[in-house]
Amino acid sequence: MGHEAQETDATAAVDFKEVQSTPRFQELRKRHRSFVFPMAIAFLLWYFAYVLLADYAVGFMSTKVWGNINVGLIMGLLQFVTTFAITGWYVSYSNRKLDPIAAEIRHEIEGHEFDKDGNQITGVKK
């Protein structure tokens, strides 16, 4: 497809292995993974802890806290709260720690292409 050929041309000359080995890319990779992996494990553990409690600790989950509102309902609503909180946290982390460095690397690669070939490629101008 025409589209694909154009795109491949634009980045064909880039030595991705070299980019991959630069300290800056390694830093980006580390920052990304050191946030998403622990966070993914944490929310999955919290979710399955909740599911296990609902399955096997029915008495505890049925304890009334306030009026007809019991521990189970509060825990369930807390799942909503943590989901919203993790979402907000990740967005702020990405904006501060990931996006600037990713944009820097991207501009460097695409700018380099621009210099070497002497003609403009798609995506240089945003």
Partner 1 sequence: MTTFMVPAVNVADLKETTLLNMAIFGLFVAITMVIVVKASKNNKTAADYYAAGRSFTGSQNGTAIAGDYLSAASFLGITGAIAINGYDGFMYSIGFLVAWLVALLLVAELLRNTGKFTMADVLSFRLKQRPVRIAAAISTLVVCFFYLLAQMAGAGTLISLLLGISDWGGQALVIIVVGALMIMYVLIGGMKGTTWVQIIKAVLLIAGAAVMTLWVLAIYGFNLSSLLGGAVEASGNQNLLNPGLQYGKTETSKIDFMSLALALVLGTAALPHVLMRFYTVPTAKEARKSVVWSIWLIGLFYLFTLVLGFGAAALVGADTIKSAPGGVNSAAPLLAFHLGGPLLLGFISAVAFATILAVVAGLTITAAASFAHDIYASVIAKGKADAATEVKVARRTVVVIGLLAIIGGIFANGQNVAFLVALAFAVAASANLPTIVYSLYWRKFTTQGAIWSMYGGLGSAILLIALSPVVSGAKTSMIPGANFAIFPLSNPGIVSIPLAFFLGWLGSVLDKRLEDTTKQAEMEVRSLTGVGAEKATDH
Question: Using the rule CB under 8 A, is 91 a contact of partner 1?
Answer: yes
The 3-state DSSP class for residue 122 equals coil
Question: Using the rule CB under 8 A, is 120 a contact of partner 1?
Answer: no
Question: Using the rule CB under 8 A, is 119 a contact of partner 1?
Answer: no
Which residue blocks in the chain are alpha helix, DSSP H? 2-12, 16-21, 23-56, 58-61, 71-93, 99-117
CA 52, 53, 59, 65: dihedral to nearest 10 degrees?
-160
d(CA 115, CA 26): 25
For binding to partner 1 (CB under 8 A), which residues are involved?
1-4, 7, 10-11, 14, 16-17, 19-20, 25, 28-29, 32-33, 35-36, 39-40, 43-44, 47-48, 50-52, 54-56, 58, 61-62, 66-70, 72-73, 76, 79-80, 83-84, 86-87, 90-91, 94, 99, 102-103, 105-106, 109-110, 122-123
